[in-house]
Chain A
């Protein structure tokens, strides 16, 4: 019996020691060095430049060391759970569209005081601040900017007699149709991932089309949200995108794709069987590196019209629970500087920094379009989330592509669902 008691006591002691060691491991070593965690969510193959930038910071600032942490894909809800429980990284990478959800004093540190004490250089030139400054409080700082630009094979267009990319949406349909016809069906004039899943990329050109035609899914008037498009407008939009399938311009296999840089699309560009598609900058670079063919970018149809395309990107925030907010702000200022973008291959969400970049000519489409792009702020703050809107739109457009519904029925379904969701 005594032996058993000693064994039990030893086990309890070991457990207590283990728990103590685990709890003690979270504290910073007493060497005077501030250690910060910076969590980002882009794929590893897109952040080599960021790694270099962080390494440069760590070399130049031995008293403040940054550990870069990658948690991909983006999971703002995970961060919210951590922050609400008093933990999480010091610096957080935030999709612009998610900033509003994280705008909570239990999650993000309001940055106004830090900005007042240590002003951010060129703060007036920041893009998309309407996504990060809510009710007069700055919850995050826009960091990178992107948009969807037309990606095309110049030689494939030339084979069909075209020297310019389509300037508007009707011209895109017409031009794509002629390219397909001229090739005897061998070339798809326009390729777009038309899958039903929530993350399908068709969401972006669909919104671009709507915005360019003067309507949007939802709108707010004096704080009251309502459907922003008529059934006829939505049906017309659905018919437009469905035309690419009914006219044989886009292969029906695209209805199973979600990613704008799907291997099928990349292969099509490489082989010349896909004349035009759309991508953000990071995906364009990835595909460009993967294929042998030369691809170019141009503004989307109507992309030079203000407010007709979206400005996406990332923002930087400081965890409310960070024990070193001042140091985190210093790091943030560095990450926002032109020095970082000297190695970090992203477009900065700063008009002034953007003008300083040396852009590859093949990416000129992004540069031309960005000044005219606007963030998804028009949908922010509604009882229905952008993610839910995206899912709904992708589902209903897909239902028409696959013959389950006609455009009028799908349009009505979109409106009814939005109305139901807006009621809360």
Chain B
């Protein structure tokens, strides 16, 4: 009886949290799956959806732009920005961790400055960057014209040769602090004795970096890459507010396509189908990535 009572008590104590999880996470996820197989307008009540089987998925995949949209999402939006953030983030974290800054007594200030982009709301960040990159009065163009580098302003967000690089710059700038701070925390957790031992064995900076820093940061890097990939793949704000998917559909990504389909086309079901496709892609990525990194760690 006592064991049974404790068991029941445990369930009762867990119930509120489980209910919250079910309501906030499980139910929306299940409903999204259901919605992906229904035809429903944003102007209808949820109960008015009609089942269309795989119709929404056929609609999504029959879009001739789907391939380029997927490529934009995977390569430009996600892969490139994640790689840049990891590289720049590691470089910056290493710099912030440097004893030189400590000797100069500016480490605290430097770390605070690094956080500034993160403190800026994404909407404000995009608005500021749009102003900086404006083809006429933007600071960057004013500078380039003033220095005689170009004769007239470059519409960075309106020409294909520059638009993605502009969006990438905005994303990296705004999201870099997260990577920096996590990697910095990882660096701080590495015992100094390991560097001392490596030094005694004749290892220089680069050898220590490869043999001590990187191996110790591997778990942190694994998590950072996973989190930033998922977050970026699903990101809607940066592209939408910067270019709306343009010029043409040059910067259209899955998230903007989902939004357009659901709220301009009034096809909630098709939008949910795109969302489900995105979820599946990320789930597959997560499984393969974790499996690959686990294998490397074991090796």
Contact = CB atoms under 8 A, between A and B. Distances in A.
Contacts of A395: 245-246, 248-249
B153 A253 contact: yes
B266 A385 contact: yes
Interface residues of B, number: 31
A401 B159 CA distance: 9
B136 A264 contact: yes
A258 B265 contact: no
Main secondary structure on A side of the interface with B: helix
B14 to A, nearest CB: 16
Interface stretch (B39-47, B97-105, B106-114): B39-47
B43 A404 contact: no
Interface residues of A, number: 46
Contact of A77 (B64, B263, B265): B263
A387 B243 contact: no
Best-surrounded residue of B41, B64, B134, B158 (most CB of chain A within 10 A):
B158
A99 B156 CA distance: 38
Best-surrounded residue of B45, B156, B243 (most CB of chain A within 10 A):
B45
Contacts of B159: 252, 255, 402-403
Given A77-B43, A196-B245, A258-B244, A253 B250 contact: no
Contact of B265 (A85, A251, A384): A384
Contacts of A394: 246
Interface string B245-281: 1111110000000001001111000000000000000
Main secondary structure on B side of the interface with A: loop
Interface in B7-40: none
Interface string A165-203: 000000000000000000000000000000111111000
Nearest to B131: A263
Contacts of A267: 137
Given A76-B43, A267-B137, A388 B160 contact: no
Contacts of A85: 45
A267 B135 CA distance: 14
B260 A196 contact: no
A80 interface: yes
A266 to B, nearest CB: 12
B134 A107 contact: no
B168 interface: no
B265 A398 contact: no
Given A198-B264, A264-B136, A388-B264, A256 B43 contact: no
B157 A256 contact: yes
B3 interface: no
A180 to B, nearest CB: 14
B248 A398 contact: yes
A197 B245 contact: yes
Contacts of A400: 248
Given A256-B135, A402-B158, A404-B160, A196 B244 contact: yes
Given A253-B134, A385-B265, A385-B266, A404 B248 contact: yes
Contact of A404 (B134, B157, B247): B247
A106 interface: yes
Interface string A368-404: 0000000000000000110110110011101111111
Q: Which 3 A-B pairs have the closest CB atoms?
A: A196-B246, A197-B244, A253-B135
6 contacts: A255-B158, A384-B265, A387-B263, A395-B248, A405-B248, A413-B64
